[in-house]
Amino acid sequence: MAPFKDGFVALATDHNAALPLRINNADLSLLHSFFDPLFTRLEYMDKGRFRDERAQRRAA
């Protein structure tokens, strides 16, 4: 898939044409793997769970 401007990607339908496809929240998918280490380092999480409700709200 080839990226287009503004978060669109090309979806190949045949060899001669591409259809733009909007992917909403793609940035969250890319950042997902960084959240756990970040929140752990900020001491919002302990053993994979938020420490308390306040930490959970701060993370959001």
- Dump pLDDT digits (tens) for 10-23: 555 555 566 677 77
Q: Does residue 9 register a pLDDT over 80?
A: no
Q: Does residue 56 register a pLDDT over 70?
A: yes
DSSP 2: -
Give residue for tokens 């409700």.
Answer: 53
Model-wide pTM > 0.85 = no
pLDDT confidence tier of residue 29, bands split at 50, 70 and 90: confident
Residue spans of the domains in the chain: they are: 24-60
Give the pLDDT of residue 22.
77
What's the rounded Cα separation, in Å, for the pair 5 and 60? 28
Alpha helices in the chain (DSSP H): 26-41, 53-59
Q: Which amino acid, 9? A: V
More confident residue, 25 or 9: 25
